[in-house]
Amino acid sequence: MTAAPRTVPAGRGGAAPARPRRLVCVCGVAHPGGAEIGLLRLLRRLDGWAITVTTPEPGPLSHAVLGEGWAWAQVPAGGLARRAGARAALSFPRMRRLARAADVVYLNGGVAGRLLPAAGAARTVLHVHDLVDRVPRHWRRADVVLADSQAVADRLEGLEAHVVGCPVELDPPDVAPPWEPGGEIVGFVGRLEPRKGPLDLARAAPRIRAARPDARVVLVGDDPFGADPAYTEAVRSAPGVEVHGWVEDAAGLMRHLDVLVLPSHAEPFGTVLAEAMAAGTPVVATRVGGLPEVVDDGVTGRLVAPGRPDELADAVVEVLGRRAEMGAAARERARRFGADAYAERVAALLAPAPASYRARPEA
C-alpha cells in the first residue's frame, strides 16, 4: 500500500521549485518510539520535499504518516529479534526501487540501516540513535551519519558523525494527567523495561515518602515490544507506586509533574528529560550514555549512579526542595533542544544544497 505523497510548498523565495526533492525515510518499527517521534517532528518542518515514510508493517506509525498527508510504503527491515537482520535482504528489491525514485534516503536507526546497501542510488543519511557495540561495515556507505549525542558518536569508530541531538516541542499542547490531583508528583514516563530502570524508582519510593510524606510516585508507560514481561509485571505490581498505561503526546504531561525521573541503565540521549525541562520541570537521571549532555547536574536537576535506589531517592528529595529554582533553569536550558533549531541543523545535512525550511514560533 502506498499513498500519494504530499508536497509541501517552499516557504521562502516565492515560487515552489519545478520538481520537489524526494525524501524516503525508512523506519525499522511500526510503533513509534523516541526515534520515530523525532522524525515526525523533523518532517513537519521540512519544505519543498515530497515525503515517503516506510515501516515494516501497518501500525500506529503508518497511521500517523498517512494522517500527515505523506506517502507510506511497507518495507520490512528484519525486525528487532536476534539474528533477524538477514531478513532485511528480502526487502532489497523494493528498497532499490524506492531509492531510484528518491533524491535522499534517510535511514532512521540501526535496524533501518540494514537497508543501506540497497539505497545507493540516492544520497543516503544514516541516523544512529543507539549506543552501539560495533559498527557494521556497510554503515560506511552512508553519505552522512547523524548521532543523537556525543556519547553515541564516540562509539561510531571510523565514521564522521554529526551530533544533532533530539528535537523537542518547546510548547506542546496540554495533556490531562491520568492520575488524580494532589500531592507532589514524582513521575516516570517511558517504556517499562529493564534498560529504562523504572523498578529502581519503585524501590526508591519508600525512602522518598519518608522524607516527603506528600510525595506520590507515578509511572506512565508500557512495554510495546515485550522486552521483559516479568520485569514489566514487577513494576506494575510494586507497592507504593501508581502505574498508568501509555499516554499519547506525553510531552504535554510534563508540566503536571514536580520532578521527572529517568533511572536508565543505558541511554543515548533521553528526550523525555529535555521535554520535562522545556515544561519547567526539573529532572533526576542517571549518569549514563548521553544523559549528562542533557542534564546540568545541580542546576537543572541531579545525576546519580545507575542501579542505586537510595541515591535516586535522595536526589529526588533534593530536587523537590529546589523545584522552583531548578525548574526555571531547566526551562531556559531546554531551548537548545527546540525542534525548529533541530530541523535547521538536520535540513542542512539532508542535501548538498541548503534545504528550504519553514520556521515556526515555539515560544
Q: What are the DSSP calls for 177-224, one per residue? A: -SSPS-SEEEEEES--SGGG-HHHHHHHHHHHHHH-TTEEEEEE---T
Verify that 58 and 158 share a domain, yes or no.
yes
* Residue 227 pLDDT level (bands cut at 50, 70, 90): confident
CATH number for 295: 3.40.50.2000
pLDDT higher than threshold 80 for residue 1? no
Give the residue among 144, 171, 78 at the shortest CA–CA distance from 348: 144
Sign of the C-alpha dihedral computed for residues 231, 233, 253 and 44 taken in this order? positive
Query: How many domains is the chain built from?
Result: 2
φ, ψ of residue 120 to 5 degrees: the values are -65, -10
For residues 195-216, average pLDDT: 98
Number of H helices, E strands in the chain: 10, 13
* Residue 87 pLDDT level (bands cut at 50, 70, 90): confident
For residues 247-274, average pLDDT: 96
Instruction: Give the range of the structural domain holding residue 198, as residue numbers without chain letter.
Output: 184-336
Verify that 198 and 159 share a domain, yes or no.
no
pLDDT higher than threshold 70 for residue 6? no
- Angle, helices 323-333 vs 309-321, to 10°: value is 90
Interval 39-83: pLDDT, tens: 999 999 999 999 999 999 999 999 999 999 999 999 999 876 666
Verify that 297 and 346 share a domain, yes or no.
no
Would you state the pLDDT for residue 12?
Answer: 42
Verify that 34 and 143 share a domain, yes or no.
yes
Would you state the pLDDT for residue 33?
Answer: 86
Verify that 58 and 133 share a domain, yes or no.
yes
* Residue 353 pLDDT level (bands cut at 50, 70, 90): low
Would you state the pLDDT for residue 361?
Answer: 39
Verify that 196 and 296 share a domain, yes or no.
yes
Residue 357 lies in a domain: no
Verify that 221 and 320 share a domain, yes or no.
yes
Give the span between the Cα atoms of 200 and 234, in whole angstroms: 11
For residues 123-143, average pLDDT: 96
Verify that 141 and 241 share a domain, yes or no.
no
Verify that 253 and 325 share a domain, yes or no.
yes
Query: What does the mean pLDDT of the chain come to?
Result: 91
| Cβ neighbourhood burial of 226 (10 Å; 0-12, 13-18, 19+) | exposed
- Higher model confidence: residue 82 or residue 187? 187
Residue 174 lies in a domain: no
Verify that 273 and 152 share a domain, yes or no.
no
Verify that 227 and 325 share a domain, yes or no.
yes
87's grid cell: 531478513
Residue 275 lies in a domain: yes
Verify that 101 and 192 share a domain, yes or no.
no
Residue 7 lies in a domain: no
As a whole-number percent, the residues of the chain with pLDDT over 70 amount to 91
Reduce the DSSP state of residue 107 to 3 states and report it.
Answer: strand
Residue 102 lies in a domain: yes
pLDDT higher than threshold 80 for residue 252? yes
Would you state the pLDDT for residue 325?
Answer: 98
Residue 233 lies in a domain: yes
pTM: 0.88
pLDDT higher than threshold 80 for residue 3? no
18's grid cell: 519545478
Amino acid type, 98:
L
